[in-house]
Amino acid sequence: MPRQPSPMRRQILDSAVRLFAERGFKGTSLHDIAVEARCSKASLLYHFAGKDAILTELLTPPAESLTAMRDDLAALEGDRAVRAAVDVYVGLAMRFRQEVKIIFAELPDMLGHPVLAVIPEAVDQLADALAGRSREPAARVSAQMVIGGVAVTVAADVDVAPDAMRAALVQGALRTLGHPVS
């Protein structure tokens, strides 16, 4: 079990994720994070080597979750793959809403970040599961629409309760993929 960060380290991470999501990674300085976290810049630098180290720590859990999702979906086929992929993907997107917003705000730079190297392969495998392993163009396009639509929706500041958002995302994804909504 990973060690829990100290309260100050957690405060810095919470402040950084909020600021990165609001202003972008490039638009946020270490000074901004220190002020938001109510600590000195020296204290911040005691806990983190710099802004990139903070970003790495923030993006590691979503990247690890994508890898786990990829592994969980690998053995599933057809309708089971579609439904599991929708449920897991929407859950991850909701759990990491701010991180998704950070990634999308500066997509080309973010995808070059080493901790996110798992994204292209994970997205390809997610699309394959969402398409029910079908090679039909309509299924492949619908899968990509779900991936993009869910990510953009959770990154937007939509004033909807999380449970309602999750339910609507799952239903919308299943409809887009041509599957009955239960």
Chain segment 92-107, per-residue pLDDT in tens: 999 999 999 998 888 7
Quick one: 105 and 124 in the same domain?
A: yes
Is residue 79 situated within a structural domain? yes
pLDDT classification of 120: cutoffs 50, 70, 90: confident
For 53-110, how does the pLDDT look when each residue is reduced to its tens digit (9 = 90+)? 999 999 999 999 988 998 889 999 999 999 999 999 999 999 999 999 998 888 778 8
With beta carbons less than 8 A apart as the criterion, state whether 30 and 51 touch: yes
Q: Is the same domain home to 41 and 102?
A: no
- Does 72 lie in the same domain as 42? no
Domain that holds residue 14: 1-48
- Phi and psi at residue 139, in whole multiples of 5°? -65, -40
C-alpha atoms less than 13 angstroms from C-alpha of 60 in its C-beta half-sphere:
8
The CA distance from 156 to 98, in Å, is 9
Cβ atoms 57, 48 nearer than 8 A: yes
Is 64 part of any domain? yes
Instruction: Identify whether residues 42 and 105 lie together within a single domain.
Output: no
Q: CA–CA separation, 116 vs 45, rounded Å? A: 23
Confidence band, pLDDT 50/70/90 cuts, at residue 3:
low
User: 42-63: buried (b, 16+ CB within 10 Å) or exposed (e) per residue?
Assistant: ebbeebbeebeebbbbbbeebb
Task: Look at residue 2 in the predicted model and tell me its pLDDT.
Answer: 54
Report whether pLDDT(35) > 90.
yes
Q: What single letter denotes the amino acid at residue 20?
A: F
Instruction: Tell whether 170 and 126 lie within a shared domain.
Output: yes
Are 125 and 151 in the same domain?
A: yes
Q: Are residues 20 and 94 in the same domain?
A: no
Closest CA to 111 of 82, 151, 157: 151
